[in-house]
């Protein structure tokens, strides 16, 4: 489950998301599943193996192909 605000929704069950895979930012098409009342949505398909969805509100501003690293959940740079 990821915040729906972290994705660019392009259809009732589709979105574009920014992910980190192999240390680089990539943009992927995702198939969405269940939506929760708290604003989170299930990523049902399209997430590459080992990829992590970028949930920052600034994800859309990040350049595809740029190097990135995953911080521990709840930590700040």
CA 50 to chain CA centroid, nearest Å? 13
Residue 59, SS3? Answer: helix
Mean pLDDT by 10 residues, the chain (77 residues): 93 95 95 97 95 86 91 62
Q: For residue 27, tell me if it sits in a domain.
A: yes
Specify the pLDDT at position 76. Answer: 54
The closest of 32, 39, 44, 31 to 3, measured between CA atoms, is 39
Specify the pLDDT at position 69. Answer: 86
Q: For residue 15, tell me if it sits in a domain.
A: yes
pTM of the full predicted structure?
A: 0.83
* Residues 14/1, Cβ–Cβ less than 8 Å: no
Structural domain harbouring 12: 2-61
Look up the CATH number of the domain holding residue 26.
Answer: 2.40.420
Specify the pLDDT at position 59. Answer: 80
Specify the pLDDT at position 75. Answer: 55
Q: For residue 22, tell me if it sits in a domain.
A: yes
∠41-44-50 over CA atoms, to 5°? 100
């Amino acid at each position: 489950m990821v915040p729906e605000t972290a994705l660019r929704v392009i259809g009732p069950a589709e979105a574009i998301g920014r992910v980190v895979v192999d240390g680089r930012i990539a943009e992927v098409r995702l198939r969405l599943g269940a939506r929760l009342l708290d604003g989170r949505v299930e990523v049902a398909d399209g997430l590459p193996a080992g990829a992590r969805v970028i949930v920052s509100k600034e994800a859309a501003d990040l350049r595809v192909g740029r190097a990135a690293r995953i911080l521990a959940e709840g930590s700040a740079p």
